[in-house]
Amino acid sequence: MSKNIEAKDLNIYYGSFRAVEGVNMSIKKKTVTALIGPSGCGKSTFLRSINRMHEVIAGAYVEGKLELDGQDLYGAGMDPVIVRRQIGMVFQRPNPFPTMSIYDNVIAGMKLNNKRASRKEFDETVERSLRGANLWNEVKDRLDKPGSGLSGGQQQRLCIARAIAVQPDVLLMDEPCSALDPISTLAIEDLINELKNDYTIVIVTHNMQQAARVSDYTGFFNIEGTGKPGKLVEMDETKTIFSQPTQKATEDYVSGRFG
C-alpha cells in the first residue's frame, strides 16, 4: 500500500521563475512528514509537485528526480493522471463536489479508476472510507444528502474519505486544518495518527504545534527574499527539529522569532 518518496535535486519552475531549488528529501512509508516554513517558501509548491498538481498552472515544470518506490514520477511517458491516482490529496479548504451526494463524493475517485464496480463494492467502499475518516457515524443516515450541507470539519473529513477511497500509496495534505475550528482540527489530527498505519502522509502546515503533534519527521523550508527560490533548510525527526535544530534559521522559526 504505502510507498517511500525520494526527491533528488528537485527544482520546480513556474515558467522562468524558479520557485523551489535543490530539494533532496526522503520520505519514509507509513510516517507523517510535516513541511513547515514561512509563506511563499515553496512548501506547498513542493507538496503539489509530488502528485504533479502544480502543473495545473500553465508553464510549470520540474528538473531533477522525484521517485515513488523507485518509479520516476516525472519519467518520459508518465501520465500525471496516473500519478494522481496513486497519490491522493486533501486541500486547504474543504472541497466536496457540491452537486454530488455524500455517497457519490466518496466513490467519485473509484468511478474514475474502475467504472464497473458493483453496487455492493461501492457500498463497502463508502462504509470503509467513511469509517476510515471517522465520519461514518455522523453521516450514515444521510448518505444521499449533498456533501455541501455538512459542517466545515465534516466536509474536510469527507474529502479525506474521498481521497482514501481509492486506496492511494500516499496522502498529501495542504494545510488541511487552516479553515477549521479547534475541535474539528483535533478530529483531523487524530485521524492523521490513525491513517499513518496505512498511508504515507505528507502535510503542509502553518501551525508549528500541529507539526509537533502529528508528525514523525519535519522539513523546514525557507526563502531568502522575495523573488528568490525556496529551499529545504533542514529535515530531521520532528523532536530534533523542535529541540536541537542544526540551522540557525530553523531555530529562529520554530522558536517563534520570525515567520
Query: Nearest to residue 95, comparing CAs of 185, 157, 178?
Result: 157
Closest separation in Å from C-beta 161 to other proteins:
12
Q: Which is nearer to other proteins, 38 or 149 (CB)?
A: 149
Q: Which are the contacts of 123, defined by CB distance < 8 A and separation ≥ 6?
A: none
* Cα atoms in the Cβ-side hemisphere of radius 13 Å centred on 140: 12
User: Which of these ranges, 6-14, 70-78, 123-131, 159-167, lies near other proteins under the rule CB under 8 A?
Assistant: 159-167
Q: Does 91 bind other proteins (CB under 8 A)?
A: yes
x/- string (CB under 8 A) for other proteins, residues 70-89? Answer: -----------xx-xx--xx
Give kind and range of the element (H or E) at residue 218: strand 217-223
The grid cell for 92 is: 486547504
Q: Does 56 bind other proteins (CB under 8 A)?
A: yes
Q: Does 98 bind other proteins (CB under 8 A)?
A: yes
Burial class of 246 by CB neighbour count within 10 A (0 to 12, 13 to 18, 19+): exposed
Closest separation in Å from C-beta 169 to other proteins:
12
Q: Which is nearer to other proteins, 100 or 186 (CB)?
A: 100
Spatial separation of the C-alpha atoms in residues 183 and 9, rounded to whole Å: 39
Closest separation in Å from C-beta 89 to other proteins:
4
> Do 169 and 122 meet the contact criterion of CB atoms below 8 Å apart?
no
Closest separation in Å from C-beta 86 to other proteins:
8
Restricted to residues 99-138, the positions that interact with other proteins (CB under 8 A) are 99-101, 108-109, 112-113
DSSP state of 101: B
Orientation of helix 182-195 relative to helix 152-164, angle to 10°: 20
User: Which of these ranges, 64-72, 162-170, 180-188, 217-225, lies near other proteins under the rule CB under 8 A?
Assistant: 162-170
Orientation of helix 102-113 relative to helix 152-164, angle to 10°: 20
Q: Does 53 bind other proteins (CB under 8 A)?
A: yes
From 4, 71, 148, 207, residue interacting with other proteins (rule: CB under 8 A): 148
Residues contributing to the site for other proteins (CB under 8 A): 51, 53, 56, 81-82, 84-85, 88-89, 91, 93, 95-101, 108-109, 112-113, 146, 148-149, 159, 162-163, 166
